[in-house]
């Protein structure tokens, strides 16, 4: 326990302040080729023709790749769970978001690679695009995805569900119904280091892949799947990441760099521009969240109905997982005995969305905490006291049936009140996370308490 409570230097701190830390872009392997991608200028279109012949003949160009060069072009992050693949590495047939890669070039300079992209002949037939998840379920909405506009693989359902207690009775028993709509928007993670990879074909036949990924073994699996090679043909080198914040969970550049390295038989580096980072890298998802809470005049939340639409962008990636996490957290840090949650993953013609700092959780926390304030305002109650009253207690049962053994809502809320100088009544200041009793155990919460600590 030498480190606990001690002020330790960063192990990489001196490298950072002396400029010696080697990020992927700082690796030197001798002369490398530079990669650039032809990206869709349209949000939604079919590709009617694609001809890379002229680009291939240009001076300084060593490889051009399209979907025809990818051993397994269409891949899905959730294939291991039995969900079919849905996203092409390089577009074939259709483009579904502006910035989607269609072809890629490796050339002796970035300028030569850019010139070669200009020489690729591609024709599109534009289609109507869909950007608003609220329209995704309309019968006349543009159809975006091979599965329609909603992800259909939640077991027998086309959405993530939570059903707990008797929601209709909670709404019948309520004094007031408090409704709210919350729409957190897309955010680009914007790490200082853009997406970058360097792939070196080794004499052994392996590829060494210098990667800025946040998820080494996951990225290795993605590259191996697309290339259809065993993992022992890939050596991933990473761990030094110039910021990620979730934006480097999805495998952005490694696979295409690897394809170009294999085809050109030379080292290939792909360093995204800042513009590409904003245009084509995954963002945090926009959400549409509708909450309706059945509450009593004295501030008990009897039930909550939730409809959530998650904007997955053009492909599924990890969005179904994000919505599942969202579902787990939709009752917040509070004990609500009756829940009905329906969460949909909707497709739009936006860049695919992905992780950012609390995947699926921050969005619903924003909605829930704003809603708590709204309830307090409607009821004329103190928002701190409303939170403390409904806070998770030891032995309470969460929305997804977990009996809570160490919930921190009460101490964290009290500490937050203290830090911002909020004066609470003595009865609230004295609260602990211990199991409910007395006034804090009204009839509607009795069944929520599992005194023997076993899973409900």
Q: Which residues bind another protein (CB under 8 A)?
A: 1-3, 5-23, 25-26, 28, 189-194, 241-243, 245, 271, 273-274
In this structure, are residues 178 and 345 in contact, taking their beta carbons and an 8 Å threshold? no
C-alpha closest to that of 356 among 447, 297, 287? 287
Q: Please, which residue, 12 or 298, has the CB nearer to another protein?
A: 12
Helix axis angle, 361-379 relative to 383-390, nearest 10°?
120
Phi, psi values for residue 274, rounded to 5° = -60, -35
Find the shortest distance in angstroms from Cβ 248 to another protein: 11
Phi, psi values for residue 43, rounded to 5° = -75, -35
In this structure, are residues 113 and 35 in contact, taking their beta carbons and an 8 Å threshold? yes
Q: Please, which residue, 19 or 139, has the CB nearer to another protein?
A: 19
In this structure, are residues 249 and 238 in contact, taking their beta carbons and an 8 Å threshold? no
Find the shortest distance in angstroms from Cβ 3 to another protein: 5
Question: What contacts 1, CB < 8 A, 6 or more positions away?
Answer: none
Q: Please, which residue, 277 or 311, has the CB nearer to another protein?
A: 277
Q: Please, which residue, 179 or 275, has the CB nearer to another protein?
A: 275
Q: Please, which residue, 190 or 424, has the CB nearer to another protein?
A: 190
Find the shortest distance in angstroms from Cβ 59 to another protein: 17
Q: Please, which residue, 278 or 366, has the CB nearer to another protein?
A: 278
Query: CB atoms < 10 A from the CB of 256, how many?
Result: 27
Q: Please, which residue, 31 or 405, has the CB nearer to another protein?
A: 31
Strand partners, 343: 160, 308
Find the shortest distance in angstroms from Cβ 196 to another protein: 9
Q: What is the DSSP letter of 214?
A: S
Find the shortest distance in angstroms from Cβ 68 to another protein: 32
User: What's the angle, vertex CA 34, arms to CA 31 and CA 38, rounded to 5?
Assistant: 165
Find the shortest distance in angstroms from Cβ 250 to another protein: 18
Q: Please, which residue, 20 or 163, has the CB nearer to another protein?
A: 20
Find the shortest distance in angstroms from Cβ 282 to another protein: 16
Distance of alpha carbon 240 from alpha carbon 22, whole angstroms = 7
Rg (Cα) of the chain, in Å, rounded? 26
Find the shortest distance in angstroms from Cβ 243 to another protein: 5
Phi, psi values for residue 450, rounded to 5° = -110, 95
Question: What contacts 391, CB < 8 A, 6 or more positions away?
Answer: 333, 334, 335, 407, 409, 410, 413, 431, 433
In this structure, are residues 261 and 200 in contact, taking their beta carbons and an 8 Å threshold? yes
């Amino acid at each position: 326990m030498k480190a606990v409570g001690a002020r330790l230097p960063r192990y990489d701190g001196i490298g950072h302040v002396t400029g010696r830390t080697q990020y992927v872009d700082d690796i030197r392997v001798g002369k490398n080729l530079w990669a650039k991608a032809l990206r869709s200028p349209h949000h939604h279109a079919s590709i009617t023709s694609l001809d890379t012949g002229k680009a291939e003949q240009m001076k300084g160009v060593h490889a051009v790749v399209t979907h025809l060069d990818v051993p397994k072009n269409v891949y899905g992050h959730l294939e291991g769970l039995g969900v079919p693949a849905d996203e092409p590495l390089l577009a074939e047939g259709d483009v579904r978001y502006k910035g989607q890669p269609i072809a890629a070039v490796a050339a002796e300079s970035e300028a030569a690679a850019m010139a070669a992209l200009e020489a690729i002949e591609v024709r599109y037939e534009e289609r109507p695009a869909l950007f608003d998840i609220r329209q995704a379920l309309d019968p006349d909405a543009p159809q975006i995805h091979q599965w329609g506009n909603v992800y259909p693989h939640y077991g027998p359902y086309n959405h993530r569900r939570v059903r707990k207690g008797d929601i209709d009775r909670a709404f019948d028993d309520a004094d007031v119904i408090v409704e709210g709509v919350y729409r957190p928007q897309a955010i680009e993670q914007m790490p200082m280091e853009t997406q970058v990879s360097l792939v070196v074909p080794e004499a052994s036949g392996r590829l060494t892949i210098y990667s800025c990924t946040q998820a080494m073994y996951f990225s290795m699996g993605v590259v191996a799947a697309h290339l259809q090679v065993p993992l022992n043909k890939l050596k991933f080198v990473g761990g030094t990441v110039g910021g990620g914040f979730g934006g480097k969970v999805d495998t952005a550049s490694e696979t295409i760099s690897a394809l170009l390295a294999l085809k050109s038989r030379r080292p290939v580096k792909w360093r995204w521009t800042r513009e590409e980072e904003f245009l084509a890298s995954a963002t945090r998802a926009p959400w549409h969240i509708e909450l309706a809470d059945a509450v009593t005049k004295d501030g008990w939340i009897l039930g909550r109905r939730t409809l959530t639409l998650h904007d997955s962008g053009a492909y599924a990636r990890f969005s179904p997982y994000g919505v599942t996490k969202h579902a787990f957290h939709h009752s917040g840090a509070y004990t609500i005995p009756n829940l009905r949650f329906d969460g949909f993953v909707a497709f739009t013609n936006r860049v695919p969305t992905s992780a950012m700092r609390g995947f699926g959780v921050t969005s619903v926390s924003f909605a829930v905490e704003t809603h708590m304030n709204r309830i307090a305002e409607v009821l004329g109650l103190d928002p701190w006291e409303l939170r403390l009253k409904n806070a998770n207690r030891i032995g309470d049962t969460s929305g997804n049936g977990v009996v809570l053994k160490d919930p921190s809502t009460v101490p964290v809320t009290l500490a937050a009140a203290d830090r911002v100088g909020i004066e609470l009544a003595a009865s609230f200041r004295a609260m602990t996370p211990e199991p409910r009793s007395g006034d804090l155990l009204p009839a509607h919460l009795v069944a929520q308490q599992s005194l023997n600590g076993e899973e409900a």
